[in-house]
Every structure is written in structure tokens, then in C-alpha cells.
Amino acid sequence: MKRSRSSKLPVNAATGSSIFSIPSCLLMEILSKLPMSTICNCRCVCSYFRNLISDPQFAQLHLSTSQPSLMFWDRRWDCIVHLIELIHPCLDPVGANNRYAPRILRFKPKCDVPTAELEVLSSCNGLICFYWPRTYNPYVICNPVINEHVIVPQMEKVFFDQCGSGFGFCSRTNQYKMLRLLSPSIGFGVPGLIKLEAEINTVGTNLWRRVGDAPRYLHWYSGGCFLNGSLHWIVHDTENCFESMCCFDFGKERFQPFPGPSQFRGLPGQLRVEMMKMGVLKDGLSVFHHPNCYMLDIWVMKDYAVRESWTKDFVIKLPWVATYFGYIYQPLMVLNNGVILMVYALSVLLSCNTMDNNSFRKFMVNGISSFARAMTYIPSFVSIKNAARGSYS
């Protein structure tokens, strides 16, 4: 007779106890400390573990301690998400043979739309937001770790073209939201007539609500940089030079000024926005600026929203010329040993050792031959379907 599989784990013969006797809150704490691959395996052990790891309380606990990883999006063949589970903070990432052999998790997002044409917009709390580059319709928000996704449909607006979008989270209401920027088709690009209307969608609804206007010359194609419940942008003047910064607060649902580096104030006409990008380094908002094609300045805001806390942490001489149209250097993360991992021309990984005269080396990962996008990513077990149903708490 064929034995049926039991959902229970073995009982300790000496004590008569099992793992089920451990309080669920304590077991969640233990599981949250394990590597991602181990937690994923634990989900397959039994229904009790699966339900425990699927609990929103566990997702929040794990997210609170989850460390940034590197994520690679490869859409050439199978549209695979490659996740480097751990970058050791004191690692020499390339070693003698210029290769790094980490533990890699691979996920294939299952969506109701073709994934081969999707582009990555951004990520938040382990959720990745994809969009169609031409129409922005629809948005696909997925968590590849637990293989969940939701689709956010667009609602067309007559005589308006979409020219930008952003994705973020409001911790006060536990809601994920999409922001889109619309420009009138008539008069687009004519000084004095440009007007960016902003609309927002709470994920799980089909309603797009008007939330005022965005700054006229918002550097919209950057997609915004999400941190502390807000998306951040650079605002430029009519000559595409840095003018100020602003943010969109997902809690207040409004745009507001944001303090940029005070050192930028006296340099009108010298800071081209196409040679700048924003990101998050060392848990702080950062600006990556190329003062010329051969140098990279990295500015980090040490205290959030405090103008005086902006500091130029790194001045780096570049191995290859930085050019326009996205072919610039973008740092991804800083390791404890002073090594900066960065991406060039969207698909070339480099390591820069700031403790060794800013020496550059190619950063090649065994098992990843090519990719369309590299970015920092915080893996999580957050359920986007629970969030869309309003049960994320």
C-alpha cells in the first residue's frame, strides 16, 4: 500500500515535542533570519510553513531586515529575473579571475501579458513595476519571489500624452500607488505651454485620480527615485540644466520642493541634467553627476531632507567616456571595503575600488552572460495580491 505524505514534521523522541510547539511569532523570527533560498525551500516543506511564510506579518518582519541585493532582468529569451542573494559587505567582488560566483536565484514572472516587451520601471518593497515603453499600458507589478502579479490598467485621456510614471508605497495606509504624468498633445514642447498633469492610482482599483500638476520642467524620464514614502526628481530649466529638486509624497499625494545640494546653486547653466541620475546609496538619497565626460561625482544626502547634509563622497576618474542618451555611469551599491559596484551603458557591470586609487575592473557574474537591466533590489515575500485587495496589514 502506498503511504500518504504527512504534513507534519518528525517529533523529537526524547522530548516528545515538535517544531509545531514553537510559538508562531518566534518561528517567524527564526525563519526571517534565513537566506532567501532557504526560506523558499521551507515554503515547500509543509502547509504549515507555507502558510506561516505567506502571512503578511512574516512579510513585514522579513522586509524590515532584508538587505539590498543585485537584480538582473534578462528579457532576450525567457524573461528571467536573476537575483544575487548576497553580496558580502567586505568582498573583493572580482578576485583574481575577474569573476564572482555567488548564489543566484532565478525567477520567471508569470504575467497575463507578453513579458518580452516589458521594461523595468522601478522596485519597491520587493515588488517590481514593469511597463510598456511606448504606451505605458498596462503596468504590471509583480513579486517574482512568490510568483504573484497584478495588472494596473490605463485609462486613456483625450488630447493628453503620457510622458512619465512612478511607483511607490504609503506606509500610513499600507497602499501601493502608481503615479502618471500627462502632457497636453497640443502645445507640447512649446515654452510657456508645457503643463504636466499628475494622476494617481491606488493599486487594486481602476480609478485614476487627479492630484494637481507636476513642476513644468520635471526630469520625468528618470522615473523618480523612491525613498521614505516619496518619489524624488531633478527639476531643470529651459536649457536642460539643474534648477532644483522636488518630491511627490504618496501619503499627502502632492508635489513639494525638496532641498538639493547647496553647492549646485551658484552653477547656472553648468549642470546638464542628461549627465545626472538619482539613486539610493548607503541608505541615503544620492545624485550621480558627470561634471565632464571623464569624471563622476557622487553626492549623498546623509540626513534626509536636510540640505546641509549633502556631501560629495566620491570623485572618480572614469575609464571610458560618459556620453549622452543613458550611456553614463550609475552606481548600484557601496561595499564596506570601499568597492563601488556600478553599471555603464545599461548592461556593463564594473567595480571601482575607491581604496585603490579608484581602480576599475569589469564585474562578471558566473551564470549571467547578458542582461537588459541591472538594479538594486530588496527581496521580500510581500503579497501584491493582498495589497490590491486591501488586506495588506
Burial class (CB in 10 A: 0-12, 13-18, 19+), 133: exposed
Contacts 24+ apart (CB under 8 A), 221-224: 221/163, 221/164, 222/277, 222/278, 223/121, 223/122, 223/164, 223/165, 223/166, 224/122, 224/166, 224/168, 224/179, 224/248, 224/278
Distance CA 286, CA 311 (A): 9
Q: Is 163 exposed, middle or buried (0-12, 13-18, 19+ CB in 10 A)?
A: middle
Can you give the pLDDT at residue 271? 87
pLDDT value at residue 82: 85
pLDDT at res. 91: 47
What is the pTM assigned to this prediction?
0.87
Dihedral angle at the C-alpha atoms of 327, 332, 336, 339, nearest 10 degrees? -20
pLDDT tens string, the chain, 393 residues long: the values are 444 444 455 455 455 567 778 899 999 999 999 988 889 999 988 999 999 999 999 999 999 988 888 898 886 656 788 888 765 544 444 454 445 656 778 887 777 776 777 888 999 999 999 888 777 778 899 998 998 999 998 877 777 888 888 999 999 999 999 999 988 876 544 544 567 899 999 999 889 999 999 988 887 656 789 999 999 999 988 888 899 999 999 999 999 999 999 998 877 667 888 888 999 998 999 999 999 889 999 999 999 999 999 999 999 999 888 875 567 899 999 988 888 999 988 778 898 999 888 999 887 777 787 788 889 999 999 999 988 887 544
CA distance 370 to 6: 43
pLDDT of residue 192: 47
Nearest Cα residue to 136 out of 158, 151, 154, 122: 154
Helices within the chain (DSSP H only) = 24-32, 36-42, 47-54, 56-65, 384-389
